[in-house]
Structure 1
Amino acid sequence: MSDSTAAAHYRPEIDALRALAVVAVIVNHFNKDILPSGYLGVDMFFVISGFVITSSLAGRSSQNFGDFLAGFYVRRIKRIIPPLVLFVVLTGALLCLFNPGPGESMRTGVSALFGVSNLYLLKGSTDYFAVAAEINVFTHTWSLGVEEQFYLLFPLLLWWAGVGRVTASRPVRLMWVTGALSLVSLASFIYLYQVSQPTAYFSMPTRFWELAVGSMLFVSMKEFGPHFRLLQTVPAYLLAISLLAVLFTPFQFAVPATVAVVMLTALLIARLGLPNDALGIFTQKWVVNIGLISYSLYLWHWAVLSLSRWTIGIHWWTVPFQVAAMLLLAIASYRYVETPLRRSEWSPLRWRSITYGVSATVCAAGIMTGIFLVRGWLYTGENYMGASLQQENLIEGTSVDQTNCMLAPGNSFTESSFEACHLTARDGKPTIFFVGSSHAMHLAGLGQGLHERGFGVAFMTTQGHNFYPEGGADPETFGFKSTQDRAIFSILESHAVRGSVVVVGNRYFQDGYEKEFVGSYFEGLNAFARRFERKGVTVVHILPLPEFQFHDINQCAHQWFNAGMRRAGICLPKDPLTRLRQSKDVEARSPRSENFLHYDPVKVLCPSGMAECYPVNPTSKLPTFRNGDHLSNYGASLLVDDFIEFIGRHGLLPP
């Protein structure tokens, strides 16, 4: 297709649809509450891409398959690679200034260069909607991976169907094959979204149907054009409003919303293609211009937002500056990289142009590797994860640590493993036994402080498994579901003597809270406590801790580049009222026993209240949490004096 032919077939409303898609994505990424399903703008892009690619190939004539394929890949490389290389290398370098552990992002970026970042994210079972994905500056490149993998398959189908050949053909058979594959793809998407959301979200086979809808739309309009005139009875603005309405759909309706967006996008493309019926907004120059820069804008918007989460945060007052940065970077990329390199002839020989593109990709990957190797020199802040938090879940100078004292599910404690996790008491002090999940093991800092004061300590915990006694009013009938819990109970019966304290630490913010952590659970704990009452052993239950959404404590630590500003949302407790409700619920529903107590660490960790709780101590500026729901050793050590006062107040200290 010559430039003049392309210009004659240019549809500005397609770029206007791209503008709507990219704006929807950006708004959603700024704030999911404003446009809950704005992320479906990516699905709009898929439909548009399928339509435009088929349109482009149908307008070109090739003598043979090699010529057809080479021409297609040269155009795709010139379109995709230059802006992507610039974006990945520059963003990778900027990230290393503010993130001391950029490995996940850098690996995603290198994967993006080769069109497989979606597969890399899928391998890591990445949740696209989680905080960890938001601070990966290359998460959004998954959609490029889907498109590039689609481009490997689809030209074969098009050529087989006769699209792009010199000889005349009617590519109706493309409709049948693509339609059948699309039905399989759609069924896989719907099924896998329920059982493996990352697979449904990131894989090309489950997204094939969206691009194929665009392709089939073009073929249908070409082959059955008169039938599409029936769409003239449907006002274009009605389709546009319906499409916008779907973008406001709550997230829990993601699957039907996805199907609706794909179908409405296809209908709107067809409707806007009918004579004299383009909506005014879809032909406005400024709207079309946003669509023209949509590829570069899509690349750079996420980098601005992700880097902001490491630095100034995202607040109402930062939005104008962040939008301006996105636009300036996108315009510069479009004007000085994307457009000139796409329009220029790299070489008269197509294979050489492809070689140039592949070489640029390999060089960019090498540069990214070099940046990663010198990341320590580039980082401009203090690395709390690398320094203060590198030794966690241990009592220094002893064998009490996570490796020995937090077993994997399925393993059980023995006498020998107990000895490795037990430090004896001095000066007549009692022994404190810590049992439960990792939310008991993260109290190692408390255990170290207690041992330094003469207390004996022992840790017996299981990764990802709550200590869960069963039973009711009769303490003789209670039991345990798991062999791990039975083994821990057996060791406690052997070693817990009069005056000992058993601390139970489990996690509350999880699915099934109402089912697991009220009623029967505390009946079992109470029976467990009464079982030890005759021995003079007290059970202390840790009330729910605050939880946060940050992925790396460096996001919340005081750094020069964030001026100590509180990160909106991620560095404040999520659902503080839920935590308080759970604590009160636990205490209200717990059966009472003289040797069954609740300890609330929040008054120490959040002295100014849950709403102002912060995972970094405001005085020492050291992290009290090492991740969103586990204390650091330093944070746990802050509990020592309060915990000793607590057990003393209940008469658990020797005279």
Structure 2
Amino acid sequence: MRNRLYELDGLRLLAALCVVFFHYTFSGWAGGHSPVVFQAESVWSKYGYLGVDLFFMISGFVVLMSAWGRTPREFAVSRVIRLYPAYWVGIAVTTLVTVTLGAGVFSVSFGQVLANLTMFQAVPDVANVDVVYWTLWAEMRFYLLILVFAWIGMTRGRVLAGLWAWLGLTLAVEAGVLPPMIDLVVQSEFAHYFIAGMALFMLYKFGPSKQVLVLVPLCLGNAVYRAIGYATAVGERYSVEYSPVVIALVVMALFAVMTLVALRVTAPLAMPWLATAGALTYPLYLLHAHVGFIVFERIGGAVDKYVLLFGLIAVMCAAAYAVHRFVERPLAPALKRVMAPRRQPAVLVRGFGMAR
């Protein structure tokens, strides 16, 4: 634990809270899922969806760090243990609240739930039980690429070559040189964040290099370009305008902060208690959206909106801690024993060679 980057835990929770505020004070009522309007707050909270962009960059950094030196099997097992227990609880809670309280707001079917349990519901084009699950499909495709790296064998040269190839494919897709189907793997909409996060891990692990010093700014340029285009689409969906300048400044700030982490400048800010903050992030992200919208719909007219807003966030954080404490922590070692049982150590038997 002494080498854990606690500041990344803090950044993960910050990113999650940005998304929570985006949903509760902007997209909920702007999208017709909540009667409680936060007009003044939405001026800034409408940019909260950029917390997902930070998530993706942190994921590029942390997942490569986690996979380095592991076998493909070890990496796959670690991802299953990390993702699925909290995800299954999130589906169960969201489904229960939707069925019991969500009539007229959301609906869910048995087949939809079954498909969502796999986390691959996007393959047969089954709707997500909760809107936030779309990012998990992006993460799963990223993990498959990391699995390829683990299978090939990770070295500094191979990873950097892979990052250049991925960025090249991203630009080729954007230019229309490659067919759109290739984008299922390339993920040109967000590839620059994953690539930059991985490149910054290389900076953290091996120190500065010319390749990283070129690769990260190229990713930044493409990130700004795509983020402004994405903001236009979000603005059309909710009938609001986004400032290209603000979008560009936020994206540049994300890159700057992650670069400072890679350069170990933020090390003095790393506090062990931030590990708990980081542990809340994933279950908080999974639980907050549809459940929160339904709560706003059912009691929004009877409670002061700010009391409801901050009370709901506090409840969601408490629920996230409960999922971490009573689901993720107990199930992780059990799942690991099932998926990767320990082999009995080889014992030397005199005269008969090795026995187990």
**Equivalent runs, 1:2-13 vs 2, <5 Å:** 7-13=1-7
Alignment of 1:419-498 (within 5 A): none
Indicate conservation of the 8 Å contact 1:116/1:142, yes or no.
no
Question: Which residues of structure 2 form unaligned runs of 5+?
Answer: 27-41, 214-227, 236-240, 343-356
Distance 1:266 1:94, change over 3 A: same
Name 1:320's counterpart in structure 2. Answer: 310
1:38 to 39, 48, 51: 48
Partner in structure 2 of residue 71 of structure 1 = 74
What do the CA deviations read for 1:173-192 (whole angstroms, capped 9, x no partner)?
A: 3223322323433664698x
Superposed, 1:67-106 pairs within 5 Å as 68-100=71-103, 103-104=107-108
For the aligned residues, what is the CA RMSD? 3.9
Say if 2:72 and 2:150, in contact at 8 Å, map to a contact too.
Answer: no
How many Å separate the matches in 2 of 1:116 and 1:269? 30
Q: Deviations over 1:80-118 (max 9, x none)?
A: 111111111222122111234755576654443222345
Alignment counterpart, residue 156 of structure 2, candidates 160, 171, 190: 171
Asked if 1:150 is matched to 2:142, the reply is: yes
Deviation per residue, 1:233-257 (Å, 9 max, x gap): xxxxxxxxxxxxx9xx995558887
Structure 1 residue 116 corresponds to structure 2 residue 120 = yes
- Tell me the distance in 2 between the aligned counterparts of 1:180 and 1:202: 13
Deviation per residue, 1:57-99 (Å, 9 max, x gap):
22x35xxxxxx12111111111111111111122212211123
Q: Closer, same or farther in 2 for the Cα pair 1:262/1:107, shift >3 Å?
A: farther
The answer to whether 1:218 aligns with 2:227 is no
- Structure 1 length-normalised TM: 0.40
1:10 is displaced (CA, Å) by 0.5
Question: Any conservation in 2 of the 1:18–1:45 contact (CA below 8 Å)?
Answer: yes
AA aligned to 2:261 is L
Match of 2:288 among 301, 304, 322: 301
Task: Identify the range of structure 1 (312-321 vs 200-209) with the bigger mean alpha-carbon deviation.
Answer: 200-209
1:271 to 234, 254, 260: 260
Structure 2 counterpart of 1:139? 131
Contact 1:185–1:207, Cα closer than 8 Å, also in 2: no
Q: CA separation of 1:177/1:263 partners in 2, compared to 1, >3 Å: closer, same or farther?
A: farther
The Cα shift of 1:120 comes to 6.5
Q: Aligned AA for 1:16?
A: G
Tell me: CA distance 1:347–1:150, structure 2 relative to 1, closer, same or farther (3 Å): same
SS in 1 for 2:306: coil
1:368-388 deviation per Cα after TM superposition (whole angstroms, max 9, x unaligned):
xxxxxxxxxxxxxxxxxxxxx
Instruction: Say if 1:43 and 1:210, in contact at 8 Å, map to a contact too.
Output: yes
Determine whether 1:53 maps to 2:38: no
Contact 2:204 2:262 in 1 (8 A): no
1:337-348 alignment, distance < 5 Å: 337-344=327-334, 346-347=336-337
**Which residue does the alignment assign to 1:499?**
none
Q: Name the CA shift for 1:262/1:103 in 2 (closer, same or farther; >3 Å).
A: same
- Asked whether the equivalents of residues 108 and 120 of structure 1 are also in contact (C-alpha less than 8 Å), the reply is no
Larger relative contact order, structure 1 or 2 (CA cutoff 8 Å, min sep 6): 2
User: Residues 563-604 of structure 1, C-alpha deviation per residue, up to 9 Å, x if partnerless?
Assistant: xxxxxxxxxxxxxxxxxxxxxxxxxxxxxxxxxxxxxxxxxx
Note the C-alpha offset of 1:337.
Answer: 0.8
Which whole-Å CA distance do the structure 1 matches of 2:9 and 2:298 have between them?
Answer: 33
1:264 Cα deviation after fit: 3.9
For 1:220 and 1:151, locate their aligned partners in 2 and report how far apart those are by CA, in whole Å: 21
Q: Deviations over 1:628-650 (max 9, x none)?
A: xxxxxxxxxxxxxxxxxxxxxxx
CA distance in 2, matches of 1:213, 1:149: 16
Question: How many aligned positions are there?
Answer: 295
Q: Mark the structure with the bigger radius of gyration.
A: 1
**C-alpha spacing 1:182/1:306, structure 2 compared with 1 (3 Å):** farther
Deviation at 1:209, TM superposition (A): 3.2
- In 2 relative to 1, CA 213–272 (structure 1 residues): closer, same or farther, beyond 3 Å? closer
Alpha-carbon distance in structure 1 between the residues aligned to 2:307 and 2:271: 29
Distance in structure 2 (CA, Å) of the matches to 1:109 and 1:203: 28
Residues 173 and 74 from structure 1, CA distance in 2 versus in 1: closer, same or farther, beyond 3 angstroms?
closer
Identity of aligned residues (%): 26
- Normalised TM-score (structure 2): 0.69
Relative to structure 1, the CA distance from residue 71 to residue 172 in structure 2 (aligned partners, 3 Å threshold; closer, same or farther) is: same
CA drift of 1:227 comes to: 7.3
Is the CA contact 1:69–1:155 (under 8 Å) kept in the aligned structure 2?
Answer: yes
Determine the C-alpha separation between the residues in 2 that align with 1:307 and 1:42.
Answer: 22
1:502-524 CA-to-partner distances (Å, cap 9, x unmatched) read: xxxxxxxxxxxxxxxxxxxxxxx
Equivalence map 1:193-232=2 (5 Å):
204=187, 206-225=189-208
Which runs of 5 or more structure 1 residues have no equivalent in the other structure?
Answer: 1-6, 62-67, 125-135, 164-169, 231-245, 353-655
